[in-house]
Amino acid sequence: MTLPAKIGKYKIQGVLGKGGMGIVYKGWDSAISRSVAIKAITKASLDAGTLKQVINRFRHEAQTVGRLVHPRIVQIYDYGEDDEIAYIVMELVNGKTLAHHLAQKVVYEIREAGEIIRQVLDGIGYAHGEGVVHRDIKPSNIMINSDGRIKISDFGIAHTESSNLTKVGDVLGTLHYMAPEQFLGTEVSTLTDLFAIGVIAYELLTGSKPFYGSSAVVMQQVLNERPADPSVLNANLSPLMDRVLQKALAKKREDRFQDAREFSEVFREALDATLNLNAAAPTLKLSAPDSSALLSAARLLNAAPVAIAPQATGNVQPVLTGDSAISLDTSVKKARLLLIDDEERILTALKSLFRSRYHVFTTTDGNKALDFLRKYQMHVIISDQRMPVMPGVELLRRSREISPRSVRILLTGYSDLAAIVGSINDGEVYRFISKPWDNSELQTIVAEAVTIALELADTKAAAVALPEKMGAGVLVIDEDEEIFRVTRELIGGLCPVIYAANLEAALAAMQSQEIAVVIADIDSGHEQLSAMLKLLKQEYPQILSIVITTASDSELVIELINEAQIFRFLNKPVNVRLLKSHVHAALLRYLIYQQAPSLVTEHRVQLPEEVRSSSLDQGILDSIKSLRGRWFDAQDN
């Protein structure tokens, strides 16, 4: 086979795989120095009668998945077509499919199988929230990255709320993973995908498919027969897992889980019950731990116990970190750091850096870290990003659910933009630290995080809800007014929505209106707007920022996170549902800050001197400082 030299603007470097209708190539995008996968269909190989339908579906896949941005879904970058071929350019996943591993007789431990299913549910739940039904979930469409991350691929027969490419009566799917409605040719829905995930979970946990045999036999079983309870095939499974998987595989849609979140939560409970059933580890008390209990618990993390220094009484001692000193009140319990990295040498280095100042607990196992967090409060959690089974972004996202008042830091040696955005939107990561790190900088960031965490631990803010009307408004900085119009339509009845076409108009608007949230489209004039967001966060940390961009520059995104404490990111084209959700979350956070101003510390930043002293930024800073006294000011509380 002769390789084409190029497809579109992409240099072809090899073949990754072949399918029934096309070839997947490994390509190189020289414009941004990135390896890509290119799925190409040669039009001449298609029957003239089906050519139009196949190409329409192929184009539909690119359009459908191109708007899905999630760390569990293979990202689509580009689509192209000419007289000879049609092709989709997508993220290159360095790994193998789950089907490949199963064909190699790989047997997954219960915890590993559970993590695979949890990640698949996470990704498919996001797709469902965007109005996309996959309709062909199966092991060959689940990629397992070399670092353990799951990626869902091949939305070639996906259905969207606006799609008319298929109709009732079409039978689409893959035999062993099809739901009853697919065999019957009736309407598919999100529950169809959840049924397929139930089949995969059953297969991973028992080593057998719930339905097997010829096509006719499988159809008969899916429509009429109840599969054996999973615990009959694997005695290590809890009876609770039987109930969960039988519900996932129910014949009637109304008897199944109604969304991915519900399935994931109950599946996790069944998984925990199974692991506890087989656990040999001692049970730990759930009450607030003393030093000896923490040390005992640390042994569960495969870490050498750390010597605990005597507690000081009542005095405030300066902790020197780099160029500045941060005061920690040592009359409170010594802060606790949980460090997670798959490399022991990294953990050893971090432990030696922090053990004299904090209680330090380490592990290479993300699941053990989460189990530990369920029992003990950790003030600061620092996790690597690339780890087997559970990536750091996933760990920090789940740790937020378990321990919302912990401060989370991502320690990373590479920049995956989708993962970075996901960690901010779902995990609310406080800072990103790049490997290799600077010890002084790292100590400064951790000391800041500890100070915040100790304050958060002592703060008891009452629950708040959005009122019918708010005085503080949302400022939309948007050159073409599109985002402004959408935002006004979404929340105009709740609070003022103010429009600014540029930086000058934004600063003028803030002179007359209390602002709770800034929504900034940074694609045009991003340097000035970025400077404003950084300086605004320095002077008014209670204001939440939502950034909208098409940028693929992960370094810019990390810079905005670290220096402007961006609350949420949205990619273009903007998903309206997500925009509304993010704005509501930001307004709620603003109300919490009003009620408990000490919490604003979580978003306070100190900018580098070169940022504060530039002539451009000084002018912006002077304008922002002139606002003092006009709004709720957390710094004066």
If we measure between CA atoms, which residue out of 41, 32, 46 comes closest to residue 62? Answer: 41
Which tokens in the block code for residue 500?
A: 């600014």
pLDDT of residue 633: 54
CB 546 within 8 A of CB 568: yes
Cβ of 315: how many Cβ atoms within 10 Å? Answer: 8
Burial 604-624 (b: 16+ CB within 10 A, else e): beebeeebeeeeebeebbebb
Exactly one of 47, 122, 136, 416 is catalytic; which is it? Answer: 136
The total number of residues shown for the chain amounts to 637
pLDDT of residue 627: 67
CB 337 within 8 A of CB 380: yes
Which tokens in the block code for residue 272?
A: 């925990």
Q: pLDDT by residue (tens digit) across 91-125?
A: 888 888 999 999 988 888 898 899 999 999 999 99
pLDDT of residue 197: 97
Concatenating the DSSP letter of every residue in 450-475 gives HHHHHHHHH--PPP----S--SSEEE
Q: Which residue has the higher pLDDT, 48 or 206?
A: 206
Q: pLDDT by residue (tens digit) across 478-527?
A: 888 888 989 998 898 899 999 999 888 888 888 888 999 999 988 765 67
Q: Which residue has the higher pLDDT, 280 or 340?
A: 340
Handedness of CA 478, 479, 481, 486 (dihedral sign): negative
136 is catalytic: yes
Task: Reply yes or no on whether the pLDDT at 217 is more than 80.
Answer: yes
Q: Which residue has the higher pLDDT, 171 or 40?
A: 40
Q: Phi/psi at 398 (nearest 5 deg)? A: -70, -35
Q: What is the overall mean pLDDT for the chain? A: 78
Task: Reply yes or no on whether the pLDDT at 163 is more than 50.
Answer: no
Tell how far CA 576 is from the center of its chain: 18
- Confidence band of 318 (pLDDT split at 50, 70, 90): very low
pLDDT of residue 99: 92
Ramachandran area for residue 332 (φ above 0: left; ψ -120 to 50: alpha; else beta): beta
- Confidence band of 278 (pLDDT split at 50, 70, 90): low
Q: Could you tell me the domains of the chain?
A: 6-91 (3.30.200.20), 95-278 (1.10.510.10), 291-458 (3.40.50.2300), 473-636 (3.40.50.2300)
pLDDT of residue 417: 61
The DSSP bridge partners found for residue 18 are 23
pLDDT of residue 352: 86
If we measure between CA atoms, which residue out of 631, 456, 445, 636 comes closest to residue 543? Answer: 631
CB 439 within 8 A of CB 353: yes
d(CA 535, CA 549): 20
Q: pLDDT by residue (tens digit) across 357-370?
A: 888 898 888 888 89
Q: Which residue has the higher pLDDT, 76 or 463?
A: 76
If we measure between CA atoms, which residue out of 120, 35, 133 comes closest to residue 70? Answer: 120
Long-range pairs of 521-524 with CB within 8 A, sequence gap ≥ 24: 521/477, 521/478, 521/479, 521/483, 521/548, 521/549, 522/547, 522/548, 522/549, 522/551, 523/548, 523/549, 523/550, 523/551, 523/572, 524/479
Place of tokens 């097997």: 212
Task: Reply yes or no on whether the pLDDT at 271 is more than 60.
Answer: yes
- Confidence band of 308 (pLDDT split at 50, 70, 90): very low
Instruction: Give percent of the chain above pLDDT 90.
Output: 21
Q: Which range among 298-302, 405-409, 462-466 has the greatest average pLDDT?
A: 405-409
- List, in sequence order, every beta strand (DSSP E) within 120-161: 132-133, 142-145, 150-152, 159-160
Task: Reply yes or no on whether the pLDDT at 179 is more than 90.
Answer: yes
- Confidence band of 245 (pLDDT split at 50, 70, 90): very high
Residue 513's Cβ-count burial label (10 Å; 0-12, 13-18, 19+) is middle
Q: Which residue has the higher pLDDT, 526 or 331?
A: 526
Q: Which residue has the higher pLDDT, 264 or 414?
A: 264
pLDDT of residue 262: 92
Task: Reply yes or no on whether the pLDDT at 241 is more than 80.
Answer: yes
CB 601 within 8 A of CB 451: yes
Task: Reply yes or no on whether the pLDDT at 307 is more than 60.
Answer: no
Which tokens in the block code for residue 549?
A: 């961009």
Task: Reply yes or no on whether the pLDDT at 559 is more than 70.
Answer: yes
d(CA 357, CA 318): 12
Task: Reply yes or no on whether the pLDDT at 87 is more than 60.
Answer: yes
Q: Looking at the whole model, is its pTM more than 0.85?
A: no
Which tokens in the block code for residue 236?
A: 């290590």
The DSSP bridge partners found for residue 15 are 25
Which tokens in the block code for residue 189?
A: 């829905």
- Cα–Cα distances in angstroms (integers) from residue 63 to residues 56, 60, 573, in the given order: 10, 5, 12
Task: Reply yes or no on whether the pLDDT at 291 is more than 90.
Answer: no
pLDDT of residue 279: 56
**Least confident residue range of 267-281, 301-315, 425-439, 444-458:** 301-315
Per-residue pLDDT averaged across 557-566, rounded? Answer: 77
Place of tokens 């989370």: 408
Angle made by CA atoms 210, 213, 215, in degrees to the nearest 5: 105
Task: Reply yes or no on whether the pLDDT at 127 is more than 50.
Answer: yes
Which tokens in the block code for residue 440?
A: 């002084």
- Confidence band of 589 (pLDDT split at 50, 70, 90): confident
pLDDT of residue 148: 72
Cβ of 275: how many Cβ atoms within 10 Å? Answer: 18
Place of tokens 């920690």: 328
Per-residue pLDDT averaged across 68-83, rounded? Answer: 87
Q: Which residue has the higher pLDDT, 573 or 605?
A: 573
pLDDT of residue 51: 80
Strands 159-160 and 142-145: unpaired
pLDDT of residue 618: 64
